[in-house]
């Protein structure tokens, strides 16, 4: 039989697992008092305020020398990786400047548990969610910060878990954030800085595109019907946490509908849903997909055609450039045994905005 402390920690962990993503989202939104426009420089994916100040203005060196969170002074500061740190004394600032990697918090100042979470054990995926500067732990001479909510302490959950595994996962996650930040080259306009960083993978779709979609009408001879001209528009939606886009045929009135795209931090896949407007409900589809190392996306969904025949469709976004990308759909009518390659194809060209528009 465990001690009262152990029982309390077990209940704490169970409560967190039970509430799962709902509570996690509350943690995220509790931190939204930080300005959306704050993270515009190289530190946009760190936990910083509207002035790019880290740790809520607390002195990173004091955690080591004083063993507690101590507020720094705005007049005594230093910058590391684009993050501004405040210090209680000039001596602390000097120590930081000599060895910033020792004193700067791990994982950009975000909650270490969120960075190292195992979805199978904790019920939520790796995310950057806000830490409490006063909830910390020094591990192997490194500063780890943790979230804290009424009834939940991320540090306690960390301490009762496999800490070596949590650290390994957190380090891997943060390294992936650095790599993504390098490829993104800045926060896309309209994307929320707290959104999963993978959200930026679909930023190429933003704006308006013109295209001609060709659909195969003779599968045996691979013959296409008359091309259909269309306009594809996309924007950030859901406060910058997802993408909403819509393709409409030129000259068609009434039929259409939005596609909602968001990154699932648990499955580590893109989840995309098409909502038909003025069409049969059966035209709805739910697709999952992922980007490869070259920045191309492959997704797959199941649906039925106009004749009521079930099919599987693979969708590809590829040859992606600033003002042009290709799109292709392969289809299978036998459960994926054989595929009709290029069942639908289209090349998108960006519609350039007029100066002053």
Reading phi first (left if > 0) and then psi (alpha if -120 to 50, else beta), residue 239 is in left
Statement to judge: residues 269 and 166 lie in one domain: no
Q: What is the pLDDT of residue 170?
A: 97
Statement to judge: residues 205 and 73 lie in one domain: no
Q: What is the pLDDT of residue 11?
A: 43
Q: Residue 226: inside a domain, yes or no?
A: yes
DSSP state string for 143-179: EEEE-EETTEEHHHHHHHS-HHHHHHHHHHHHHHHHH
Of 189, 211, 239, the domain-final residue: 189
C-alpha dihedral sign at 12, 17, 18, 19:
positive
Structure tokens at 270: 């893109």
Give Cα separations from 125 to 113, 175, 241, 269 (angstroms). 10, 16, 16, 11
Give SS3 for 241.
Answer: coil
Q: pLDDT of 40-59, one tens digit each? A: 678 899 999 989 999 999 99
Q: What is the pLDDT of residue 55?
A: 98
Q: Residue 194: inside a domain, yes or no?
A: no
Closest CA to 343 of 212, 210, 219: 219
Q: pLDDT of 137-168, one tens digit each? A: 999 999 999 999 888 899 999 999 999 999 99
Q: How far is CA 50 from the centre of its chain?
A: 21
Statement to judge: residues 52 and 165 lie in one domain: yes
Closest CA to 47 of 37, 168, 56, 75: 56
Instruction: pLDDT tens for the chain, 357 residues: list them.
Output: 444 434 444 444 454 444 454 455 445 544 444 444 455 678 899 999 989 999 999 999 999 999 999 999 999 999 999 999 999 999 999 999 999 999 999 999 999 999 999 888 877 788 898 999 999 999 999 999 999 988 889 999 999 999 999 999 999 999 999 999 998 888 999 999 889 999 999 999 999 999 999 999 998 888 999 999 999 999 999 999 999 999 999 987 666 899 999 999 889 999 999 999 888 888 889 999 999 989 999 999 999 888 889 999 999 999 999 999 999 999 999 999 999 999 999 999 999 875 554
Statement to judge: residues 218 and 133 lie in one domain: no
Statement to judge: residues 160 and 26 lie in one domain: yes
Give SS3 for 236.
Answer: strand
Residue with tokens 């515009």: 40
User: pTM, whole model, 2 decimals?
Assistant: 0.84
Of 157, 189, 221, the domain-final residue: 189
Q: Residue 356: inside a domain, yes or no?
A: no
Q: What is the pLDDT of residue 185?
A: 80
Angstrom distance (rounded) from CA 256 to CA 247: 7
Q: What is the pLDDT of residue 71?
A: 98
Statement to judge: residues 218 and 172 lie in one domain: no
Q: What is the pLDDT of residue 27?
A: 52
Number of structural domains (the chain) is 2
Statement to judge: residues 179 and 218 lie in one domain: no
Statement to judge: residues 33 and 159 lie in one domain: yes
Statement to judge: residues 105 and 244 lie in one domain: no
Do 8 and 159 contact (CB within 8 A), yes or no?
A: no
User: Most distant CA pair in the chain: distance in Å?
Assistant: 78
Give SS3 for 202.
Answer: helix
Q: Residue 145: inside a domain, yes or no?
A: yes
Statement to judge: residues 307 and 207 lie in one domain: yes
Of 189, 209, 230, the domain-final residue: 189
Q: What is the pLDDT of residue 125?
A: 80
Statement to judge: residues 245 and 112 lie in one domain: no
Q: Find the domain containing 273 and state its range.
A: 199-350
CATH of the domain at 342: 2.40.128.20
Statement to judge: residues 183 and 207 lie in one domain: no
């Amino acid at each position: 039989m465990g001690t009262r402390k152990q029982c309390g920690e077990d209940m704490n962990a169970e409560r967190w697992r039970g509430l799962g993503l709902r509570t996690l989202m509350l943690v995220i939104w509790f931190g939204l008092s930080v300005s959306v426009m704050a993270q515009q420089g190289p530190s946009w994916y760190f936990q910083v305020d509207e002035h790019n100040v880290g740790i809520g203005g607390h002195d990173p060196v004091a955690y080591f020398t004083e063993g507690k969170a101590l507020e720094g002074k705005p007049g005594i500061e230093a910058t590391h990786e684009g993050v501004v740190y405040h210090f209680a004394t000039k001596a602390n600032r000097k120590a930081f400047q000599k060895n910033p990697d020792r004193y700067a918090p791990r994982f950009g100042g975000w909650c270490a548990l969120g960075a190292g979470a195992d979805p199978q054990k904790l019920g939520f995926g790796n995310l950057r969610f806000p830490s409490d500067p006063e909830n910390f732990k020094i591990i192997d001479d490194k500063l780890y910060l943790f979230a804290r909510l009424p009834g939940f302490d991320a540090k306690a959950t960390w301490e009762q878990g496999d800490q070596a595994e949590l650290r390994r996962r957190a380090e891997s996650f943060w390294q992936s954030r650095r790599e993504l930040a390098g490829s993104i080259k800045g926060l896309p306009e309209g994307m929320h800085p707290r959104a999963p960083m993978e959200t930026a993978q679909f930023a190429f779709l933003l704006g308006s595109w013109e295209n001609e979609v060709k659909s195969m009408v003779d599968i045996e001879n691979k013959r296409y019907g008359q091309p259909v001209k269309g306009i594809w528009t996309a924007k950030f939606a859901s406060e910058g946490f997802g993408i909403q886009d819509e393709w409409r045929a030129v000259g068609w009135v009434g039929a259409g509908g939005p596609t909602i795209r968001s990154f699932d931090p648990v499955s580590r896949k893109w989840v995309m849903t098409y909502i038909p407007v003025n069409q049969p409900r059966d035209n709805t589809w739910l697709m999952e997909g992922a980007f490869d190392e070259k920045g191309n996306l492959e997704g797959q969904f199941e649906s039925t055609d106009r004749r009521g025949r079930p099919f599987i469709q693979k969708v590809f976004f590829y040859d992606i450039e600033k003002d042009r990308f290709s799109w292709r759909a392969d289809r299978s009518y036998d459960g994926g045994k054989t595929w009709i390659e290029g069942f639908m194809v289209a090349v998108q060209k960006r519609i350039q905005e007029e100066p002053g528009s």
